[in-house]
Amino acid sequence: MSEESHHSRTGRGSGRTRRQVLGTLGVTAVTGLAGCLDGGGSDDSTTTPGRISRRYAVDVDEGRAAFHVDIPKSEYVTARDRSRSFTRAANAARESPALERLGRQIARTYSSDADRLLAAQAVVTDIEYARDIESTDQREYIRYPAETIAERMGDCEDLAFLLAGLLSSSALDFRTGFVIPEGHCAVLVDTADVPATLLASDPLTVRFGGREYVYVEAVEAHAPGAWARDYGTRSLLVAYRDGWYPLDTAALADHSIEMLTDRDVGSVVEFFQ
């Protein structure tokens, strides 16, 4: 969302624009790409022509592990050409073969739901946070999962798509959704799927569609139910799972008016399609 200028992950941004990132992908897709998580250091991925590779290292209670994910370069190119839509990107994450493979790796490595959730969160939260205006020169730009993986950056909804898609993979099988506070986006995980030992004290939960969900950050590694420092006092506007669920109608109406004032109607409609 567009108000993330106050995000607290300082010192992480590289100042790279999308143009600079795209300019390097032709080389890095051939030489292999690397990532590093939780201070794990980076390893060059195996070089495979026509594919974009990432390797991540995470460290949770059951131990340290490295995970590898790759996507066809053609999938990245196709994602760049798609229209920007929250619901399409959310569905793409749920159907992503790359996230499905990554979920299987995590499930093989960690036996408990607690460590599987923590490992998935660790992979995503250490991807570089980048505001859309700084990385794409656009106020709002929804990245599809292939773009976030390839470009090694994204804003709150881009990272939320990855985390929700990873957690809901068949191997991990968490029931997930999304919640949009003012100027932010986070993941929701069905309360019944979250081990009680992981929950923050007085966890933030959201109820809709007859189910209760726990708020889970995708931009910082907080316990389920705790929120990133900049967003804890903001109104929760709307949730999404199999459709949109208004949570605070008054705040949502005010926010919608602000969006329509700052943007054209078409871009706002496209965001929610």
Q: Which of 75, 87, 172, 195 is nearest to 123 (CA)?
A: 172
CA distance 109 to 42: 19
Token pair for residue 136? 């794409």
The two structure tokens encoding residue 99: 């996230």
Entry pTM: 0.81
3-class secondary structure, 265: helix
pLDDT by residue, tens only, the chain of 273 residues: 544 433 444 344 444 554 444 444 433 332 232 222 343 443 445 457 899 999 898 988 878 899 999 999 999 999 999 988 999 999 999 999 999 999 999 999 999 999 999 999 999 988 998 887 778 777 778 999 999 999 999 999 999 999 999 999 999 999 999 999 888 999 999 999 999 999 999 999 999 999 999 999 999 999 999 987 666 567 888 999 999 999 988 777 776 666 656 655 655 566 666
| Alpha carbon distance 193, 211 (integer Å) | 11
Q: Report pLDDT for 255.
A: 65
Check residue 138 and give its pLDDT: 76
β partners of residue 59 = 64
Dihedral angle of Cα 243, 249, 252, 256, to the nearest 10 degrees? 90
- The three-state secondary structure class of 127 is coil
**Strand, coil or helix: what is 149?**
helix
Token match 């992979």: residue?
Answer: 123
> From the centroid of its chain, how far is CA 236?
18
Cα–chain center distance at 144: 10
Q: How far is CA 36 from the centre of its chain?
A: 16
Q: How many domains does the chain have?
A: 1
Among candidates 114, 86, 105, 268, which has minimal Cα distance to 177? 86
Token duo for residue 101: 């493979």
CA–CA separation, 23 vs 36, rounded Å? Answer: 21
Q: What is the DSSP string of 202-263?
A: S--EEEETTEEEEEE-SSS-PPTT---TTTTTS-EEEEESSSEEES-HHHHHHHHHHHHHHS
Enter the tokens of residue 104.
Answer: 């299987």
Task: Give CA–CA dist 71/23, Å, rounded.
Answer: 18
Q: Domain containing 151: what range?
A: 4-272
**Bridge partner list, 199:** none
Confidence at residue 266, expressed as pLDDT on a 0 to 100 scale: 58
